[in-house]
Amino acid sequence: MKSAILTIAVLGIGVGLAQAASHSQTPASVKARHGIMQNYSYSLGTLGDMAKGEAEYDAELAQAAADRLVALSAIPQTGYWVEGTSSEDLDDSRALPAIWENMDDYLSGFDELNEAAVSMAAVASDGQEALGPQMQAIGQSCGGCHEDYRMSND
């Protein structure tokens, strides 16, 4: 009998904690789009380090990073940029409200990134010197969108 009461009490605390956690939780759509961006960074970082000579050129790794950027930038964006998840709605979102006012322009940024990534993938195995010029195009695509649509850090 005692153990049954204890079990119920423990379950009660468990439910309470779960509710508290879900209340303050970041929506799954926001976490998912952050994950994509983090993967962009990882792949671009791999290529950038090789382009600058800070990491040894490795054709297989460079190709994998470029191919990954192509695939990631082709992922359908529908469902990521949900109404009510802007930087004004959530503490953990830096997505500016301008996104929802210019959705077509915003989404075209991912097509641009994809084009730049495809160009990178076409030459990524050709040697270290091939990476630099393509890095620029990709970097401009990331930076251009962030400038217009991502809240700055300061």
Point out which residues bind ligand HEC (CB under 6 A): 30, 33-34, 37-38, 40-41, 44, 93-95, 106, 109-110, 113, 138, 141-142, 145-146, 149-150
Residue nearest to ligand HEC (CB): 109
| Nearer Cβ to ligand HEC (46/141) | 141
Token pair belonging to 33: 């789009």
- The residues, ordered by sequence, that sit 6+ positions from 72 with a Cβ below 8 Å of its Cβ are 36, 39, 40, 43, 117
| Nearer Cβ to ligand HEC (37/75) | 37
Shortest distance, position 120 Cβ to ligand HEC, whole Å: 10
Burial class (CB in 10 A: 0-12, 13-18, 19+), 90: middle
Shortest distance, position 23 Cβ to ligand HEC, whole Å: 19
Burial class (CB in 10 A: 0-12, 13-18, 19+), 6: exposed
| Nearer Cβ to ligand HEC (7/38) | 38
Shortest distance, position 67 Cβ to ligand HEC, whole Å: 14
| Nearer Cβ to ligand HEC (105/126) | 105
* Spatial CA neighbour of 43 closest among 70, 76, 68: 68
- Separation between Cα atoms, residue 73 and residue 94, nearest integer Å: 19
Shortest distance, position 40 Cβ to ligand HEC, whole Å: 4
